[in-house]
Amino acid sequence: MDEQTLIRLLVDLHRDGARQGPGSADETRRALDLARLDRGARLRVADIGCGTGASTLVLADRLPRARITAVDRFPGFLEILAERAHAAGVARRIETRAESMESLSFAAGSLDLAWSEGAIYNIGFARGLEAWRPFLRPGGVLAVSEITWLRPGPPAEIRRHWEGEYPEIATAAEKVAILERAGFDLLGYFVLPPSSWIDNYYRPAEKRMPAFLERHAGRPEAVEIVEMERREAELYRRYQDWFSYGFYVARRR
């Protein structure tokens, strides 16, 4: 399947979801607490790979004077984010920006907080840290969720899956060492619970699949995507003791 078709179909499957990756409002708030920022300050915040804004809206609610730039590659997601921000009464403080996380246009040292849930894997953890660090002021905070092995020695099937999909998957100890080498000090770490994956991501996506297949009836690419996502959900259900998203909150040195 060509890249354009894949992207168009993936956006169509996921744009009506409350979120485009595993997570929850509670986990976003929990990570924000670990950031130990002055919540009443006029913070400058970026939500990178924001999708339709699940975390952006929580941040806007919890940081009442913050200005948030919500960045995603796909304008289709940002349009929905803008509508949701409007409905929540926070549109004035949220700017959307369609650009790639590989070439963000923030000024050096201009951010107090760089947020990214379920998205840094698109550029890679180590590369993302290096690329985004300059946008933070010294003392500014990075909060990212990243695929993490929960224990060493995963079974061959899931190890092979992740070696193919995202070879940067590693244990939290290894991820923290990468953060420290990249010029960050860890403020906190926790693991996203299964409900963030199943109740908030896979089950809602599975509910949207029949209508998605109907919209794209006769297109083998749509069937292919549904099969791919079902397989991914199945792997998670089977191997959830072995991997999850780790949430890493760290301060720029």
Q: Is 119 in the site for ligand SAH (CB under 6 A)?
A: yes
* Burial of 153 from C-beta contacts in 10 A (0-12 / 13-18 / 19+): exposed
**Exposed e or buried b per residue across 198-220, where buried means at least 16 C-beta atoms within 10 angstroms of its C-beta:** bebbbeebeebeeebbeebeeee
Give the contacts of 6 (CB within 8 A, at least 6 positions apart): 221, 225
Work out which of 34, 43, 45, 51 binds ligand SAH, going by CB under 6 A.
Answer: 51
Q: Is 229 in the site for ligand SAH (CB under 6 A)?
A: no
Nearest approach, Cβ of 76 to ligand SAH (angstroms)? 9
Q: Is 200 in the site for ligand SAH (CB under 6 A)?
A: no
Q: Is 19 in the site for ligand SAH (CB under 6 A)?
A: yes
Q: Is 54 in the site for ligand SAH (CB under 6 A)?
A: yes
Nearest approach, Cβ of 28 to ligand SAH (angstroms)? 9
Residues 81-110 that bind ligand SAH (CB under 6 A): 100-102
Looking at the Cβ atoms of 54 and 154, the one nearer to ligand SAH is 54
Q: Is 118 in the site for ligand SAH (CB under 6 A)?
A: yes
CA distance 81 to 68: 12
243 in Cβ contact with 154 (< 8 Å): yes
Q: Which helix (H) or strand (E) holds 237?
A: helix 220-239
State the residues that interact with ligand SAH by CB under 6 A.
19-21, 23, 49-51, 54-55, 72-74, 77, 100-102, 117-119, 122
